[in-house]
Amino acid sequence: MFKDIAIAALRENGYKITKPREWIVEYLDGNKNHPTALEIFDDIRKSDKSISFATVYNTLDTLVKANIINEITIDSQSSRYDPDTSNHVHFLCEKCKKVIDIHSDKVKPILESMPGKVSGFDIIVRGECDSCIKKS
* Sites of contact with DNA (CB under 7 A): 11, 15-21, 36-38, 50-55, 57-59, 61-62, 77-79
**125 touches, from DNA, a copy of itself, none (C-beta below 5 to 8 Å by class):** a copy of itself
**47 touches, from a copy of itself, DNA, none (C-beta below 5 to 8 Å by class):** none
CB 89 within 8 A of CB 102: yes
Please state whether beta strands 88-93 and 80-82 pair in parallel, antiparallel, or not at all (unpaired). Answer: unpaired
State the Cα–Cα distance between residues 46 and 68, nearest whole angstrom.
24
Q: Is 54 helix (H, G, I), strand (E, B) or coil?
A: helix
Exactly one of 4, 19, 38, 120 binds a copy of itself (CB under 8 A); which one? 120
Question: Exposed, middle or buried: residue 57 (CB in 10 Å: 0-12, 13-18, 19+)?
Answer: middle
Segment 16 to 35, residues that bind a copy of itself, using CB under 8 A: none
Number of residues this chain uses to bind a copy of itself (CB under 8 A): 37
Under the binding rule (CB under 8 A), the answer on residue 93 touching a copy of itself is: yes
- Taking the complex as a whole, the smallest distance from the CB of residue 50 to DNA amounts, in Å, to 5
**33 touches, from a copy of itself, DNA, none (C-beta below 5 to 8 Å by class):** none
Q: Which of 127, 121, 119 is nearest to 104 (CA)?
A: 121
